[in-house]
């Protein structure tokens, strides 16, 4: 059995503005750094062996902060963990999308250049299959909300998901041969615990 911990990056200025980030390389803001530090403290001592991270600044910085608090963890950047590409949607708010393309803008996703869900899921599954063959049993993936949500739909199809994966939330999936089990979902207790 592999235990996979999914961690979303800390908050960014674009998160606050509710802008679609996608592949846009937006850094953590000061609160995002503080969130990552709290997540790092929470994850210390939980037996994680390796971190795979998206190379986008917001995820990579979150992973680096986690690594600093967890000596001995190896950090591996992997482009397959980048957020879903948003095409023309990147940098826009919901209001701007409605103004530009109308209230049914979601029906236009293929023509606006958004990465198809199946392509994003395929790259995530490919990485998980490689991880299954590695010796580490407890693996952290530091990545993005849209990526995590879509990949969870594929690997734990019965999981009841919320609309948003929260910044620095931790989700844990036990990967078994016959069925995957989500043992922790979208948990941010580290942001409220003293």
Q: Do 166 and 8 contact (CB within 8 A), yes or no? A: yes
Which residue ranges form the domains of the chain, and what is each CATH number? 2-86+115-192 (3.40.50.1240)
Instruction: Identify whether 9 is a catalytic site residue.
Output: yes
Check the annotation: does 170 bind a ligand.
no
* pLDDT tens track for 35-73: 999 999 999 989 999 999 999 999 999 999 999 998 889
13: confidence class by pLDDT, cuts 50, 70, 90 = very high
CB atoms within 10 A of CB 104: 8
Catalytic residue among 46, 68, 77, 83: 83
Check the annotation: does 18 bind a ligand.
no
Check the annotation: does 8 bind a ligand.
yes
CA distance 157 to 146: 16
The DSSP element (H or E) to which 182 belongs, if any, is strand 180-187
Instruction: Identify whether 23 is a catalytic site residue.
Output: no
CB-hemisphere CA count at 13 Å for 16?
Answer: 11
Kindly report the pTM of this predicted structure: 0.95
Geometric angle at alpha carbon 52, from 48 and 58, rounded to 5°: 110
Catalytic residue among 9, 90, 115, 144: 9
| Residue 45 Rama label (left phi>0; alpha psi -120 to 50; beta) | left
Answer whether residue 194 shows pLDDT above 60. no
* pLDDT tens track for 97-125: 999 999 999 999 889 999 999 999 999 99
Residues 6+ apart with CB under 8 A from 97: 20, 89, 105
CB atoms within 10 A of CB 46: 13
């Amino acid at each position: 059995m592999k235990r996979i911990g999914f961690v979303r990056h800390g908050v960014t200025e674009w998160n606050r503005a509710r802008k679609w980030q996608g592949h846009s390389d937006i850094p953590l803001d000061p609160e995002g750094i503080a969130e990552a530090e709290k997540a790092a403290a929470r994850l210390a001592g939980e037996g994680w062996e390796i971190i795979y991270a998206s190379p986008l600044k917001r995820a990579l910085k979150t992973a680096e902060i986690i690594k600093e608090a967890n000596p001995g963890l190896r950090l591996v950047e992997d482009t397959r963990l980048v957020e879903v590409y948003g095409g023309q949607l990147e940098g826009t708010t919901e209001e701007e999308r409605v103004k530009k393309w109308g209230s049914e803008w979601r029906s236009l996703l293929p023509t606006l250049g958004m990465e198809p869900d199946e392509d994003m899921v395929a790259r995530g599954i490919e990485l998980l299959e490689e991880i299954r063959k590695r010796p580490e049993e407890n693996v952290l993936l530091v990545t993005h909300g849209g990526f995590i949500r879509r990949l969870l739909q594929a690997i734990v199809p019965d999981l009841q998901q919320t609309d948003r994966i929260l910044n620095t939330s931790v989700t844990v999936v036990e990967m078994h041969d016959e069925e995957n089990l989500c043992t922790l979902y979208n948990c941010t207790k580290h942001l409220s615990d003293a």
